[in-house]
Amino acid sequence: MSAVADGLSVIAASGKSGGSGREAERTDGRASVPESEFAARVSETRAVVFRVAYSVVHDRADAEEIAQDAFLRAHGRMGSLREAEKFHAWVCRIAFRLALNHRRARGRSMARDTAWHGSRATVTDGARAEAGREYLTRLREEIERLPKKLRAVVLLASVAGMEAVEVAAVLEIPAGTVRSRLHLARKKLLEVMER
């Protein structure tokens, strides 16, 4: 995910912070986080932030762009983070919301394009591959039909591969609630997919 690293180098070069590892004074009087500390946090969390974004948008390039944007936004708002140990959940929440916004915008754009160009033709490359694609498409559609609360948990836990505690931190709900919603969502998906 070199796009994130490139974005961080742009931040450092832009002079938004001290850049030398020192704490720079913010315009609001609060001290910001040293660049080296922020870079270390990015390297610790960049894979999971990418997975969160990818679980929502299903496109590698878009997920990388969203992850980079999430880190840029986190860098700009780092002074507003009250508890430094919650950086992981905070930046994942930023990425999740950015990815949802991106997917909504892409959905509106695709609806306009589909209406303009008509339905898209699909190319088959074998019955087995086609059946697999159809199954995945149907599964994604069924995930989209889940209630919002269940869908968010499935996307973060099953698709992004996050643990229940991490999902709980991102969604700001108890871990037990995450587990029960995940169980219910999987049960509903299993029922629908077996039909």
User: Which CATH number does 123-195 carry?
Assistant: 1.10.10.10
> pTM of the entire structure?
0.55
What residue ranges do the domains of the chain occupy? 1-121, 123-195
pLDDT band at 69 (very low <50, low <70, confident <90, very high): very high
Q: Higher-confidence residue: 20 or 133? A: 133
Residue 60 near residue 164 (C-beta atoms within 8 A)? no
pLDDT digits (tens, 9 = 90+) for 38-49: 899 999 999 999
* pLDDT winner (highest mean) among 19-33, 60-74, 117-131: 60-74
How is residue 86 written in tokens?
């919650």
CA distances 51 to 14, 91, 186, 189, Å, are: 28, 12, 20, 21
pLDDT digits (tens, 9 = 90+) for 10-59: 444 433 334 444 444 444 444 456 788 889 999 999 999 999 999 889 89
Q: Same fold for the domain at 1-121 and the one at 123-195?
A: no
Please name the helix (run of DSSP H) or strand (run of DSSP E) that holds residue 154, with its range, or none. Answer: helix 148-154
Residue 169 near residue 86 (C-beta atoms within 8 A)? yes
- Under DSSP, is residue 122 helix (H, G, I), strand (E, B) or coil? coil
Pairwise CA distance, residues 74 & 76, whole Å: 5
Closest Cα partner for 181 from 161, 152, 160? Answer: 152
User: Which CATH number does 1-121 carry?
Assistant: 1.10.1740.10
Number of helices and strands in the chain (H, E)? 8, 0
Q: Rounded to 10 degrees, what is the CA torsion of 26, 28, 33, 34? A: 10
